[in-house]
Chains A and B, each alone.
Chain A
Amino acid sequence: MNRFIALFLLLATSVWIGAQAAESPHKPPQEQALDTQVESLKKSVLELNRELFILEEELLFPGNTQVSVFLSMDVGAYFKLDSVQLLIDDKELTNYLYTEREVKALQRGGTQRLYLGNLKSGSHELVAFFVGKGPHQRDYKRGATVEFTKGVGPKFIELKIVDSESAQQPDFTVREWE
């Protein structure tokens, strides 16, 4: 019995670093070498991905025709987002259904690139429908519209869901970025 108690105490009196007691972080050289190898590989693949990501964007969505639509959320207490339908010039571009995780990421301040595509220069109309649960868990669908001009450079549009404290309702705004 004493042996078990002593062994237990040795293990139990380790420091507390959060969700669990810490294990010794010291690693044998073989493991350290492998860690370095993995890290170096991750770095190389990340760099390659960066280059490919840029290449893909430049190739498929050149600056003179590129249009990006982003979605962000400020607080979101009056609206639980289920989906967003996006149309430009009456053509449906996406109808995106959100997971719980994605909604939380938006609520914490993340911005989703909802659409990336190409448009000719000139005037266009964007319409977005936001579907979800509004105040008192009622089904809620609202639209937001903006007319915008696509010039020679890339166009960025942000759809934003904000809480209107005065109206105790969600509000949906559209902002054009330079």
Chain B
Amino acid sequence: MPLSSRLYLLLMIWFPAVVAAAPQTQPGELKDLYYGEALYQLYQQHYFQAIVHLLSAQRQGHMQAYGDEPQLLLGGLYLAYGMPDAAEGLFQRLLNDPNRPAIHDQAWLQMAKSRHRRGQEARAAEALAQIGTALTESGQLERLSLEGLVDLERGDNQQALAALEPITDQERWGAYASYNRAIALLRSGQTKAGLEILERLGRQRAEDEEMKALRDRANLVRGYLLLESGQAAQGKTALERVRLSGLATNQALLGVGWASLRLHDPQGALAPWQELAKRDARDPAVLEVLLAIPYALSQLQADSQALDYYQQAIDRYNQEIGRLDQALRGIRQGRLMAALIPDSGKGRQAPAENDITGLLPLLLSKNRFQEHLQDYRDLVALQANLREWVDKIGSYRAMLQVRQAAYQAKLPRVEASLSGQTLASLEDAQAKLQQRFDQAKSPEEPPFILANDKELRLLARFDKIDRLFARIAPYQELPEQHEHARFLRGLLVWRTVTEHPARLWEAEKQLRELARALQQAHQQQAALQRAEHDSKGRVQGFADRIERLERQIPDLLNRVQRTQADQARLLRQMAEQALQGRKSLLHDYLIQARFGVASLLDRSSKTEAGGQ
């Protein structure tokens, strides 16, 4: 699809889709960042990136807030990226919901446009017939305009007129509709009415280049129609309204000359024609004027000058034929693609590619050629994209291997921690402590069960003293010492007994904390276990995905290369056909020029013979 066509689609087909189907989506009311990101790519005409980002965001479950709008946007993007079948498939799916008439009508309008662009006029008409009344005002204008175009393509001029009639908008849509109505009227034989519309369009104020081009075309068509119907003066006036620099200028200059000639003013014809003759000979109007000038001169009886001009024409035609032959040779030698896409030859400049590049405007003026060239460019971009992924995916595989190695290094520690030995011994200890606590809590608690280490050591010393007393000093011998020892032991017992409830409370508190800590340890162990399991799965999952996707790339690269070669072959055929067509036109002109020379020489010899 050509760049200009894509621009057209963006402005005339896609843009209304977003504006009309999503009127609530104005800048500043963003509901999803991913949707806005896709729009950012789209507004820069990065259609491929916009589609990839939209598809990825949809796959990841984003953009829910926009309902079907992302789908409509995606459909528009498919159209802009030269994927009409994908667009149609998507729009068809949007039609299943009759409860949302705006989406329904917009989707049918998009389908109608897609079908019309592909020349499927009957199917485009079917799609248009499904549209209800839910389109916006701009959408309705577009629908009527498209209806008119479809009817015109199907040769139904009356129906086209009926469709275009209600478009009274004074701006762009109105101007297009008026022009197309004029064409419908002319085709249906209502020449007068058609000419009136063209007259109005030809005098209309035009603010931008597109409207100026439309005005030029209206004047051009009207001028030639009047010229053909013998109204040369009016035709000339219309042709003189065409701008001096524009797409229609050369044809207008040629027409002004013919009008002057019709008005028996060959001298008047020469001025615009000589101006035209200086222009680029690749334009058919310039080729034509090379014959027209000597014809006008011969009308002025300036035979000698006419002969010179015929000779100049023959030289120019021969030159052009020579250039065409050279370009055709270049194309057959396989240099077309390097000329069309200079960087496609990997920086290598084809030696004589100027022979071809000089003729590119002739080839690029054909929409179909441009479409295939754009497809070829897209294929080049796809190839670059796939090669980039080959490099990237290799790095990702390496990165994953590094991550896996790092994980393996940490694995023994993780496994040790997960083996549960430490935790089990801690749990044993906890059970023992609990048992001791339960004993301490029972009414027949063992003595000193909650005594601390220091107290236990003191008790042991008292036992030792008692044993010593029993062996070497009975009570009678050392009563004071015995009493002192008893008193001290009594103090210790008193302390352990009176502090027992507080110690019990403290022990219970600590046991609770221990239980909590052990529970946390269990949770962490489970989390670690899950992480270990997930990590194995995740790494493996990434590795599998990388392998699966990597496997697809070489096959796709092969397909891209094969299709690229097919596309290049087709472009070569189209280029050869176009150049051969031009060559045959030049041969016709050459014959006419030679015939002109012969006629003049004949007239001259007859004059000379008459004079003698």
The answer to whether A and B assemble together is yes
> Which A residues from 12 to 32 make CB contacts under 8 A with B?
12-27, 30-31
Is A41 interfacial (CB-CB < 8 Å)?
yes
> Min CB distance, B224 to chain A, in Å?
6
> Min CB distance, B156 to chain A, in Å?
13
Q: Which of A15, A37, A111 is the one whose CB lies under 8 Å from B36? A: A111
Is B143 interfacial (CB-CB < 8 Å)?
no
- Chain B: residues with Cβ within 8 Å of the partner, total of 93
Q: Which of B116, B217, B258 is the one whose CB lies under 8 Å from A12? A: B217
Cross-chain contact A45 with B382 (CB below 8 angstroms): yes
Is B92 interfacial (CB-CB < 8 Å)?
no
Q: Of the 9-residue stretches B49-57, B419-427, B493-501, which lies at the interface with chain A?
A: B49-57
Q: Please judge, given known A-B contacts A9-B228, A31-B372, A41-B379, whether A18 and B176 are in contact too, CB under 8 Å.
A: yes
Is A89 interfacial (CB-CB < 8 Å)?
no
Cross-chain contact A111 with B60 (CB below 8 angstroms): no
> Min CB distance, B322 to chain A, in Å?
24
* Count, A-B residue pairs, CB within 8 A: 217
Is A124 interfacial (CB-CB < 8 Å)?
no
Q: Which of B36, B556, B559 is the one whose CB lies under 8 Å from A72? A: B36
Cross-chain contact B37 with A113 (CB below 8 angstroms): yes
- Interchain CA distance A7-B42 in the complex, whole Å: 41
- Interchain CA distance A16-B179 in the complex, whole Å: 7
Which chain A positions have C-beta within 8 A of B458?
none
Is A141 interfacial (CB-CB < 8 Å)?
no
Q: Of the 9-residue stretches B26-34, B97-105, B404-412, which lies at the interface with chain A?
A: B26-34
Q: Please judge, given known A-B contacts A38-B378, A105-B44, A110-B41, whether A70 and B36 are in contact too, CB under 8 Å.
A: yes
Which chain A positions have C-beta within 8 A of B553?
48
Cross-chain contact B560 with A45 (CB below 8 angstroms): yes
Q: Of the 9-residue stretches B330-338, B391-399, B603-611, which lies at the interface with chain A?
A: B391-399
Which chain B positions have C-beta within 8 A of A92?
none
Q: Which of B36, B385, B399, B400 is the one whose CB lies under 8 Å from A110? A: B36
Is B505 interfacial (CB-CB < 8 Å)?
no
Which chain B positions have C-beta within 8 A of A55?
396, 542, 545-546, 549
Cross-chain contact A16 with B214 (CB below 8 angstroms): yes
Cross-chain contact A53 with B56 (CB below 8 angstroms): yes
Q: Please judge, given known A-B contacts A50-B56, A113-B37, whether A8 and B224 are in contact too, CB under 8 Å.
A: yes
Q: Which of A23, A38, A106 is the one whose CB lies under 8 Å from B40? A: A106
Is B360 interfacial (CB-CB < 8 Å)?
no
Closest to B569 in A: A34
Is A82 interfacial (CB-CB < 8 Å)?
no
Cross-chain contact A109 with B39 (CB below 8 angstroms): yes
Is B354 interfacial (CB-CB < 8 Å)?
no
Is B271 interfacial (CB-CB < 8 Å)?
no
Closest to A46 in B: B51
> Which B residues from 370 to 406 make CB contacts under 8 A with A?
372, 375, 378-379, 382, 385-386, 389, 392-393, 396, 399-400
Cross-chain contact A37 with B8 (CB below 8 angstroms): no
Q: Of the 9-residue stretches B81-89, B464-472, B477-485, which lies at the interface with chain A?
A: B81-89
Closest to B194 in A: A13
Cross-chain contact A110 with B4 (CB below 8 angstroms): no
> Min CB distance, B200 to chain A, in Å?
15
Cross-chain contact A30 with B570 (CB below 8 angstroms): yes
Q: Find the residue from A9, A12, A21, A162 having the highest chain B CB count within 10 A.
A: A12
Cross-chain contact B59 with A52 (CB below 8 angstroms): no
> Which B residues from 56 to 108 make CB contacts under 8 A with A?
56, 59-60, 81-86
Q: Please judge, given known A-B contacts A36-B85, A106-B40, whether A48 and B552 are in contact too, CB under 8 Å.
A: yes
Which chain B positions have C-beta within 8 A of A162?
28
Cross-chain contact A25 with B82 (CB below 8 angstroms): no
> Which B residues from 260 to 278 make CB contacts under 8 A with A?
261
Q: Give chain A's interface residue range (CB within 8 Å of chain B).
A: 35 or more
Is B140 interfacial (CB-CB < 8 Å)?
no
Closest to B39 in A: A110
Which chain A positions have C-beta within 8 A of B552?
44, 48
> Min CB distance, A24 to chain B, in Å?
7
Q: Please judge, given known A-B contacts A16-B214, A108-B43, whether A5 and B85 are in contact too, CB under 8 Å.
A: no
Which chain B positions have C-beta within 8 A of A68?
33
Cross-chain contact B43 with A110 (CB below 8 angstroms): yes
Cross-chain contact A44 with B556 (CB below 8 angstroms): yes
Cross-chain contact A111 with B570 (CB below 8 angstroms): no
Is A125 interfacial (CB-CB < 8 Å)?
no
- Interchain CA distance A73-B27 in the complex, whole Å: 7
Q: Please judge, given known A-B contacts A1-B258, A19-B210, A41-B559, whether A9 and B225 are in contact too, CB under 8 Å.
A: yes
Is B367 interfacial (CB-CB < 8 Å)?
yes
> Min CB distance, B317 to chain A, in Å?
16
Cross-chain contact B52 with A53 (CB below 8 angstroms): yes
Cross-chain contact B52 with A13 (CB below 8 angstroms): no
- Interchain CA distance A6-B288 in the complex, whole Å: 14
Is B110 interfacial (CB-CB < 8 Å)?
no
> Which A residues from 94 to 110 make CB contacts under 8 A with B?
101-102, 104-110
Q: Please judge, given known A-B contacts A38-B567, A55-B545, whether A16 and B176 are in contact too, CB under 8 Å.
A: yes
* Chain B residues engaging chain A, CB cutoff 8 angstroms: 4, 7-8, 11-12, 25-28, 30, 33, 35-37, 39-44, 48, 51-53, 55-56, 59-60, 81-86, 116-119, 149, 152-153, 176, 179-180, 183, 186-187, 210, 213-214, 217, 220-221, 224-225, 227-228, 251, 254-255, 258, 261, 288, 292, 366-368, 372, 375, 378-379, 382, 385-386, 389, 392-393, 396, 399-400, 542, 545-546, 549, 552-553, 556, 559-560, 563, 566-567, 570
Query: Which 8 pairs across A and B sit closest by C-beta, in order of nearness?
Result: A111-B36, A110-B40, A105-B43, A109-B27, A74-B28, A25-B119, A50-B55, A26-B119
A-B contact pairs, 29 of them (CB 8 A): A1-B258, A1-B261, A2-B228, A4-B288, A15-B183, A19-B4, A19-B7, A25-B119, A27-B119, A37-B566, A38-B82, A39-B84, A42-B81, A46-B48, A48-B553, A49-B48, A56-B392, A57-B56, A68-B33, A70-B36, A72-B30, A72-B36, A105-B42, A109-B26, A109-B28, A109-B36, A109-B39, A110-B36, A112-B40
Beyond known contacts A17-B8, A21-B217: 7 more, CB 8 A cutoff: A5-B224, A15-B152, A43-B86, A54-B59, A54-B60, A109-B25, A110-B39
